[in-house]
Chains A and B, each alone.
Chain A
Amino acid sequence: MAAGHSAGEMQKAYIKIFSALMVFTLLTIVAAKFVHFPESWGSLSTVLHVTIGLLIAVAKAWMVVYVFMHIKFDNPYIRVFIYVPLFLFAVLVFALTVLGGPTL
């Protein structure tokens, strides 16, 4: 159990996160399938859909990591194992897209 937190508090936190994850999943579906931007917006509408979808996914992932995986309660050293690979992923994407990757 997380230090300084009772079982009841932890249970409440888990239920809250579970509810938020369900709501955010519904939001992802609504945003992607039922929200239509004007056709005149062209590729901007695709960019908006992708951005909204990914922002919701990041928020959901953060909730899982923060509460379910106990990052909120655990030793801060553990955060290194999240930040370092995420930074390397960002470098990988940046290097292969913005800086120019393989020509396909």
Chain B
Amino acid sequence: MSALSLAHEPVTGIRHGKLGMWIFLASEVMFFSGFFTAFIILRNANLSVFAHGATELNWPLAALNTVNLIVSSLTMAMSILSLENGDKGKFQLYLGITFLCACGFLVIKYIEYTTKFSHGIYPGTSSFFGLYFTMTGFHAIHVIGGMIPIGWMLAKSFTKRGYADTGRVEILGLYWHFVDLVWIFLFPVLYLIF
């Protein structure tokens, strides 16, 4: 069996790892679809509760987080490009910025959550806040899930051997862009339109 057929799926010619990530992302779309469907149904049944709940949220902080994730998506894409071009320095710089953006996102989320808790707002306060904490909480877990391999690759790139597996970074990039994608919908749905 040739090396190509081992690394790539024979019918589509797509790398196994990449195909696996796309299948995983398809399941993730369905995972978040469940939350969005619950949101639509509960919102239609409790319009006033949802409208009031959304006014309690801090949309400027969420907008800052949106910018954070968009910048991190750009730097992730640029880091892949840099690694493909063999520019180790730029790869480290862009991946480092991506990691810092992810940290920034979590810090802002922490501020948001603690402010809510200090105002006596918890997941059990209303159906809106139940969904708000569930959806943003799961999204934050996904951010943390992305930060672990980003941090690992970044740390590895500083070792003597360095890091040169562009395929894996590209697969990680797909996951990271998906995290951005979910937030693109969470931001207007939870914070802006009600």
Chain A residues with CB under 8 Å of chain B are 1, 7, 10-11, 14-15, 17-18, 21-22, 25, 28-29, 32-33, 46, 49-50, 53-54, 56-57, 60-61, 64-65, 68-69, 74-75, 77-78, 81-82, 84-86, 88-89, 92-93, 96-97, 101-102, 104
Are A32's CB and B192's CB within 8 A?
yes
Are A81's CB and B41's CB within 8 A?
no
The residue from A17, A33, A64 contacting B181, defined by CB atoms under 8 A apart: A64
Contact A92-B37, Cβ < 8 Å, known A11-B78, A69-B174: yes
Are A68's CB and B187's CB within 8 A?
no
A-B CB contacts (within 8 Å), total count: 124
A102 to B193, CA, bound (A): 24
Q: Which residues of A contact B70 (CB under 8 A)?
A: 18, 21-22, 25
Are B192's CB and A93's CB within 8 A?
no
Interface of A is mostly: helix
Task: Give the shortest distance, in Å, between A30 (CB) and chain B (any CB).
Answer: 10
A92 to B33, CA, bound (A): 8
Task: Give the shortest distance, in Å, between A66 (CB) and chain B (any CB).
Answer: 11
Contact A18-B74, Cβ < 8 Å, known A65-B181, A75-B13: yes
Taking the complex as formed, is B177 at the interface, i.e. its CB lies under 8 A from any CB of chain A? yes
Are B84's CB and A1's CB within 8 A?
yes
A64 to B188, CA, bound (A): 16
A-B contact pairs, 6 of them (CB 8 A): A1-B81, A56-B188, A84-B26, A85-B29, A89-B29, A96-B37
The residue from B36, B59, B185 contacting A33, defined by CB atoms under 8 A apart: B59
